[in-house]
């Protein structure tokens, strides 16, 4: 059986003698992924006062606490914080949406040329931080009025510098393209509904298909960030309903975050997934509907679906034993095509994001 061969392969890697150094490195746990180092601006923020009150600590204040703080500020004071601390306000979960847009616009205008051009294009950035590969979040649609919001989580190799850059061989690989295509499909399916999509690069993905991609350390840090980000959305938009969509290694992030996501998250969907960090849907510990799709020609299906000594991401979500709702990806022929217009995959993802489970074409 396929799973038996995969298990034997993983055990052989784990127990082989003599053990090559590369294998030792693979099975050695990585360091915990710490938060980005505190900047001078953040330290200044912590010492600032507004009406005699301290500002919320970006490291410890919950999104709900941040939202409550800003809700009590006069408009003039909020504007001053945007002017004085744009890099903090623009990336602080729980800050009102319009303030984050304005703050990140200010930061982009003083950034390097390619990013300063984004400000002139009127792009809606809910996060903008170029440190350590970049932490970006771009919104399509009117997030302030949306009833349904989808958050797209990308995988290996995504950085601020290829966030929106598509090559001719992989036109649908950039997360910005995926987010935009999903938004357009949702609008096409339900033109009267208020929807928005966030292309979310709020974590540091593995740079390549090496050791980092085989392990969970980066995904666990990403899951913590994703939980906080979505909590920030629901803090400023209490009635919104959210779907999380993870692609490739981003599906590991989605899986590990599932139990910590707010109850506003109704659906978690993954495509081209190597695993979600669990062997069953029950192991995800979520009340959300869990969906999975994988194209027959996707190379990800050759990844062993086991976890041994910290290597691997568990049972493939499309495996019947996992228990996800498996949907059709007809029209997809490669790992980067799940958001390609005209595919059943994109139509299904739009239906999931719209909260319409009965409209999803299942494979079983």
pLDDT tens column, 154-185: 999 999 999 998 777 777 889 999 999 999 99
Q: Are residues 202 and 296 in the same domain?
A: yes
Residue 202: inside a domain: yes
Q: Does the pLDDT at position 127 exceed 90?
A: yes
Q: How far apart are CA 212 and CA 224, in angstroms?
A: 17
pTM for the predicted model, two decimal places: 0.90
Q: Are residues 251 and 108 in the same domain?
A: no
The residue behind tokens 């001078």 is 40
Total domains in the fold of the chain: 2
Tell me the helices (H) and strands (E) count for the chain, helix number first: 13, 10
What CATH number is attached to the domain comprising 250? 3.40.50.1820
For residue 340, CA distances in Å to 177, 217, 361 come to 9, 30, 17
Q: Which residues contact 286 (CB under 8 A, 6 or more apart)?
A: 258, 259, 261, 265, 268
**Paired tokens of 324:** 């996800």
Q: Are residues 207 and 75 in the same domain?
A: no
**Paired tokens of 118:** 């984004």
Q: Are residues 172 and 291 in the same domain?
A: yes
pLDDT digits (tens, 9 = 90+) for 276-315: 999 999 999 999 999 999 999 999 988 877 666 677 788 9
Q: Are residues 172 and 294 in the same domain?
A: yes
Q: Are residues 157 and 253 in the same domain?
A: yes
Q: Are residues 107 and 137 in the same domain?
A: no
The residue among 123, 143, 172 that closes a domain is 123
**What domain range includes position 281?**
130-364
Q: Are residues 58 and 76 in the same domain?
A: yes
Can the peptide bond before residue 22 be classed as cis, meaning omega within 30 degrees of 0?
no
Q: Give the burial class of 189: count Cβ atoms within 10 A of its Cβ; 0-12 exposed, 13-18 middle, 19 or more buried.
A: middle
Residue 344: inside a domain: yes
Q: Are residues 105 and 141 in the same domain?
A: no
21 conformational bin, left if phi > 0, alpha if psi -120 to 50, beta if neither: alpha
Instruction: Name the DSSP letter for residue 167.
Output: B
Q: Are residues 224 and 328 in the same domain?
A: yes
Q: Yes or no: say if 276 and 328 are a contact pair by the CB < 8 Å rule.
A: no
């Amino acid at each position: 059986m396929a799973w038996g061969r995969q298990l034997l392969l993983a055990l052989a890697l784990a127990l082989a003698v003599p053990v090559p150094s590369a294998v030792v490195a693979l099975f050695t746990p990585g360091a915990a992924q710490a938060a980005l180092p505190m900047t001078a601006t953040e330290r200044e923020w912590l010492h600032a006062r507004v009406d005699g009150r301290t500002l919320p600590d970006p490291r410890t204040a919950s999104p709900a606490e941040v939202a409550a703080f800003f809700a009590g500020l006069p408009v003039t004071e909020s504007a001053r914080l945007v002017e004085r601390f744009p890099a903090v306000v623009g990336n602080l979960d729980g800050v009102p949406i319009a303030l984050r847009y304005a703050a990140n616009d200010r930061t982009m205008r003083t950034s390097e040329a390619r990013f300063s051009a984004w400000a002139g294009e009127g792009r809606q950035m809910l996060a903008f931080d170029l440190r350590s590969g970049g932490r970006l979040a771009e919104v399509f649609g009117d997030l302030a009025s949306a009833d349904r919001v989808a958050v797209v989580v990308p995988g290996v190799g995504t950085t601020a510098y290829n966030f929106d850059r598509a090559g001719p061989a992989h036109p649908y690989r950039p997360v910005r393209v995926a987010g935009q295509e999903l938004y357009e499909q949702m609008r096409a399916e339900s033109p009267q509904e208020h929807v928005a999509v966030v292309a979310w690069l709020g974590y540091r993905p593995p740079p390549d298909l090496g050791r980092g991609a085989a392990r969970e350390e980066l995904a666990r840090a990403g899951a913590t960030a994703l939980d906080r980000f979505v909590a920030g959305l629901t803090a400023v938009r209490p009635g919104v309903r959210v779907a999380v969509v993870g692609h490739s290694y981003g599906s590991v992030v989605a899986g590990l975050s599932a139990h910590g996501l707010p109850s506003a998250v109704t659906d978690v969907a993954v495509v081209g997934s190597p695993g979600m960090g669990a062997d069953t849907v029950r192991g995800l510990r979520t009340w959300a509907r869990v969906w999975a799709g994988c194209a027959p020609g996707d190379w990800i299906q050759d990844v062993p679906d086991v976890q041994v000594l910290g290597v691997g991401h568990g049972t493939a979500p499309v495996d019947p034993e996992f228990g996800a709702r498996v949907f059709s990806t007809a029209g997809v022929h490669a790992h980067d095509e799940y958001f390609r217009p005209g595919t059943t995959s994109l139509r299904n993802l739009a239906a999931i994001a719209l909260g319409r489970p009965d409209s999803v074409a299942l494979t079983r």
